[in-house]
Amino acid sequence: MLLRRSLLAALPGLAAPAVTGCRVEDQLSAVAMKSPIPPLRGADLSSVLRAESAGQTYQDRGRRAPVERLLATRGANVVRLRVWVHPSPGDNDLASALVLARRAHRAGLRVLLDLHYSDTWADNAHQTTPAAWADLDTKALAGTVRAYTRDTLRAFAAERIPVDLIQIGNEVTNGMLWPTGRIRDADGEHWEGFLEVLRAGLQGATEGTSSPPRTLVHVDKGGSGAGGVDIRSFYDRLAAARIQFDVMALSYYPFWHGSLAALRSDLTDLATRYRKDVLVVETAYPWKLPAAGEKGPFLVTDTDQLPDGARFPPTPQGQAAFFDALRGVIARVPGGRGLGFLAWEPGWVPGVGWDFEGVNPYSNLTMFDWSGTGLPSLSAFGG
């Protein structure tokens, strides 16, 4: 997810908002989703261990349970887990991902592995090469990426945890592993380094297990409309270079990227143009706006930030209606190539901050209220 780091830098150490929220009857009411259920529906739950260590618990429809089990009961069938190369212990490291993957597998959920190829957050604006790899030339870096991808998958296989899907990088619209794999710079575009490390990661994904996972290449800016110049030019380059992968994955945050109509145009264009499955691998929508006096920061503070805000107001019911409409968009992708959606961090309620700083700008984009009680939008994972 693209983090507005300038926002966090300007507001360090802010306390989490007080626990307020919607009415109990709104929290617990069921929402009948009208749109078809997509093949994949789930969530990124990478922060769950940190939330639990801070004392957070979750409940839904009167049942208290680990969040992955609550989502599975609602019909979710996949969990996405990010992995950094050499982070601080417990901060999106491999050991934490293995713990969460084991729990997800026991709950009946598939695993989508999100490799950032960085020691920290990687997104469209940040792709920092791991410190231990920083001095490698392009060939050596590609070899390291291939081995790292293979060995990471082998770590899951050793625990008998199947990985069904794997992302080779996170929001790589501008490349990854900068500066070697940076596509756009002040003096123009440079694709060679990125294509080499991307190929290496894809090759490693075929070598880590006897049943290789489906591979994803993930860009941001879903919702730019008609494929978008950046999205089209990116995937055109991969096609011209004969890069072999399985799924086109997009981030779609309406407050950054555009309307659902624009997303539908993107998904239709991509599925038709490239004849591949498309997956909304990150999305979120607010269930409330900050009240007067509530400390933030919040990424969404005003209905005007929401291109479909009149249809889907930032309320628990409005959030649920947004996810139902999203399912409808995915169902209408030509050729049945709309694979599904994953909500981003639906359990990241106040109390667990970004980079252990105590700041969480996403707390009104969750699918649980601030007491950890499931919101109506959880119906999006099932019927």
Q: Is residue 329 part of a domain?
A: yes
Distance CA(308)–CA(282), nearest Å, equals 18
For residue 15, is pLDDT > 80?
Answer: no
Q: Is residue 303 part of a domain?
A: yes
* Residue 229: predicted pLDDT: 55
* Residue 95: predicted pLDDT: 97
Mean pLDDT along residues 90-118: 97
Here the tokens at position 144 are 């390291």
For residue 109, is pLDDT > 70?
Answer: yes
> Would you call 357 a catalytic residue per the annotation?
no
Q: Is residue 116 part of a domain?
A: yes
Q: Is residue 16 part of a domain?
A: no
For residue 46, is pLDDT > 80?
Answer: yes
Distance CA(100)–CA(106), nearest Å, equals 10
* Residue 117: predicted pLDDT: 98
Here the tokens at position 143 are 């070899």
* Residue 352: predicted pLDDT: 72
Q: Which residue has the tokens 């019927």?
A: 383
Residue 247 bridge partners (DSSP) = 216, 277
pLDDT digits (tens, 9 = 90+) for 60-83: 999 999 999 999 999 999 999 999
Mean pLDDT along residues 3-17: 34
Catalytic residue among 171, 196, 345, 357: 171
Check which CATH number belongs to the domain holding 117 and give it: 3.20.20.80
Q: Is residue 15 part of a domain?
A: no
For residue 20, is pLDDT > 50?
Answer: no
Distance CA(250)–CA(220), nearest Å, equals 5
Q: Which residue has the tokens 């190539």?
A: 337
- Kindly report the three-state secondary structure assignment for every residue of the chain: CCCCHHHHHHCCCCCCCCCCCCCHHHHHCCCCCCCCCCCEEEEECCCHHHHHHCCCCCEECCEECCHHHHHHHHCCCEEEEEECCCCCCCCCCHHHHHHHHHHHHHCCCEEEEEECCCCCCCECCECECCHHHCCCCHHHHHHHHHHHHHHHHHHHHHCCCCCCEEEECCCCCCECCECCCECEECCEECCHHHHHHHHHHHHHHCCCCCCCCEEEEEECCCCCCCCCHHHHHHHHHHHHCCCCCCEEEEEECHHHHCCHHHHHHHHHHHHHHHCCEEEEEEECCCCCCCCCCCCCCCCCCCHHHCCCCCCCCCCHHHHHHHHHHHHHHHHCCHHHCEEEEEEECCCCCCCCCHHHCCCCCCCCCCCECCCCEECHHHHHHCC
Mean pLDDT along residues 152-177: 97
For residue 6, is pLDDT > 70?
Answer: no
Q: Choose the weakest-confidence range: 21-25, 242-246, 255-259.
A: 21-25
Mean pLDDT along residues 252-266: 95
Q: Is residue 29 part of a domain?
A: yes
* Residue 32: predicted pLDDT: 77
> Would you call 282 a catalytic residue per the annotation?
yes
Q: Is residue 164 part of a domain?
A: yes
Catalytic residue among 68, 196, 282, 345: 282
Mean pLDDT along residues 116-133: 97
What percentage of residues in the chain have a pLDDT greater than 70? Answer: 88
* 60 against 32, higher pLDDT: 60
Q: Choose the weakest-confidence range: 3-7, 78-82, 333-337, 375-379.
A: 3-7
Q: Is 178 in contact with 141 (CB distance < 8 Å)?
A: no
- Rounded to the nearest angstrom, the gap between the alpha carbon of residue 61 and the centroid of all alpha carbons in its chain is 26
pLDDT digits (tens, 9 = 90+) for 287-343: 999 987 776 678 999 999 999 999 999 999 999 999 999 999 999 999 999 999 999
Q: What is the pTM of this model?
A: 0.91
Full residue range of the structural domain in which residue 265 is found:
5-10+25-381
CB atoms inside a 10 Å sphere around CB 23: 9
What percentage of residues in the chain have a pLDDT greater than 90? Answer: 79
Looking at the 3D structure of the chain, how many domains does it have?
1
Distance CA(296)–CA(289), nearest Å, equals 11
pLDDT digits (tens, 9 = 90+) for 217-234: 999 988 776 455 578 889
Q: Is residue 20 part of a domain?
A: no
Confidence at 360, pLDDT banded by 50, 70, 90: confident
